[in-house]
Amino acid sequence: MTMEEEKRERFIEVALREFSKGYTAANTDVIVKEAGISKGLLFHYFGSKRGLFLFLNKYVLDIFITEYEKVISDSCDFLENIKTVSNLKRDLSSRYPLIFGFMMKAYLSINDVFPEGLPGDLVNLNYTLMKQIYERSNKNKTILKDGIDKEKAQNIIIWTMNGFTESLFRYGDEVDAYKAHFDDAGKELEEYLQTLRKILYR
């Protein structure tokens, strides 16, 4: 976007807040009014409401990848890095409540918004971040039990974590609900990680 920085940040803030209501409930008229831009300019940049939603997803993905890069350690194993990132999420939910609100609603609606499949330059947020953790973890990869295929072990862990992430929506899709149950979710995650460690690691 070529907007001046202050206007751009204001626009993104307003758009994230509006889409935090859910994709269907988000109203572009509200966005342009509160951001102080014309509707023509919005559609000039993004083409459609769906295009704006796509932009916001990429924006959020970039932020989380940057934050995860700060804490993922090359010397730690995959499961230990997952635990570290999980602890980071609690901090991020307080530092970026607006982004977290958008992310939780987007997670539930993105496949409905793109029924034909995600655009090539937008991959599943959770899967992308899990792949990032895996690629940075345990460079020698010698901690797996003999006879266990490394790629299949990676998939087992990623699928388990994706299922765990989806299960957290039993608490609701609002940031405050997520934060209220963070301790319980953390204990549950640790149990899954310990089980995976027993199954896959030496």
- Residue 139 clears pLDDT 70, i.e. is over it: no
Q: Each residue of 6-37: pLDDT tens digit?
A: 888 999 999 999 999 999 999 999 999 999 99
- What is the average pLDDT across 27-55? 92
Which secondary-structure segment (H or E) carries 34? helix 28-35
Q: Each residue of 90-132: pLDDT tens digit?
A: 888 888 888 988 988 888 888 788 888 777 666 566 677 777 7
Residue ranges and CATH numbers for the domains of the chain are: 3-200 (1.10.357.10)
With contact defined as beta carbons under 8 Å apart, do 46 and 111 qualify? no
Average the pLDDT over each of 74-83, 90-99, 139-148 and give the range with the smallest value. 139-148
3-state class (DSSP) for residue 61 = helix
pTM to 2 decimal places:
0.81
With contact defined as beta carbons under 8 Å apart, do 15 and 35 qualify? yes
